[in-house]
Amino acid sequence: MEKLDLRKQLSHLYQPSTKQVSLVDVPAMQFIMADGAIEPGQSPGSSPSFQEATQALYSLAYTLKFMVKQRKTEPIDFGVMALEGLWWIESGEFNIRNPGNWLWTLMIMQPDFISEGNFQDALAQIRKKKPQPGLEKLRFGTFHEGLSAQLMHIGPYATEPASVDRLHTFMAENGLRDRIGLGGKHHEIYLGDPRRGDPEKLKTVLRHPVERI
C-alpha cells in the first residue's frame, strides 16, 4: 500500500521556523471547509458553531482517509492534515488584538486525488452512521493563497499579536505590503490541541498574504 506523508512533503508550509519569518509562495490546494462567525460574547473556545464545525471537519477528514485506505484498487494511506483557520472582518480594520467581530473559515487540506465525489460519498456515510451538527456547513473547494509571510508561533493564542508584529517588521524591511484588509485573510494553522496540551507549548503557524510594493 502506498503511503503519503503530506506534512513532510509540505514541511516548508506547515513547519516554518520559529526564529525567523519566511516568504513562501503557497500554491492552490484543495480543502474541506466550513464558514461561520463567532457568536456575540463568545470566543473560539466557547463558540458552539465553531466547535460543531471543528468536529464535523475532523469526522469528514478521517472518513475520507479510511475510504481511500480501504478501497480495493490503489489504496493509499495518508495522514490527516492540521486544522486551519482563516479570519477576517466584513468592514473596518482587521486588528489581531480585537477578535470580537471576526468571521472564520475552518478547513483541512486534502490530497489531490480526493474529489468532489469522494467528499459527497463521505458525507453520506457520516449522515448514515452518525449524524451530527455542522455537517450541512461543510463544502469542498480550492484555496490559493499565493505569496505570503509566515512563521511558527509558540505559546498561547493570546500572545499571537507579538508574532504578528514580527510579520509586519519583516514586511517593512523587505518591501512588502500586508494584504489583510485588501482581500487577504489572517491565517492560522493549529499544530496543537489547547484542550490537551500546555498552552505555553502550543504551535501555530501564522501566515499573512503579501504583495510587493
pLDDT at 199: 82
The Cα–Cα gap between 127 and 135 comes to: 8
CATH match for 2-212 among 3.90.320.10, 3.20.80.10, 3.20.20.70, 3.40.50.300: 3.20.80.10
Residue type at position 55: Q
Short-list 191, 201, 194, CA closest to 13: 191
pLDDT at 195: 64
Left if phi > 0, otherwise alpha if psi is -120 to 50, otherwise beta: which for 101? alpha
Residue 119 has which C-alpha cell?
467528499
Read off the pLDDT of residues 31-63 as tens digits, 9 standing for 90 and up: 999 999 988 888 787 888 999 999 999 999 999
pLDDT < 50 positions in the chain: none
pLDDT at 79: 95
Instruction: Rounding to the nearest 10 degrees, give the CA dihedral for residues 130, 136, 142, 144.
Output: -110
Left if phi > 0, otherwise alpha if psi is -120 to 50, otherwise beta: which for 55? alpha
pLDDT at 81: 97
pLDDT at 95: 83
Looking up cell 460543531 gives: 52
Cα-flanking dihedrals φ and ψ of residue 204, to 5°? -135, 120
pLDDT at 189: 97
The Cα–Cα gap between 109 and 86 comes to: 13
Read off the pLDDT of residues 123-133 as tens digits, 9 standing for 90 and up: 999 999 888 88
> Is the Cα dihedral 150, 153, 157, 158 positive or negative?
negative
The Cα–Cα gap between 13 and 122 comes to: 27
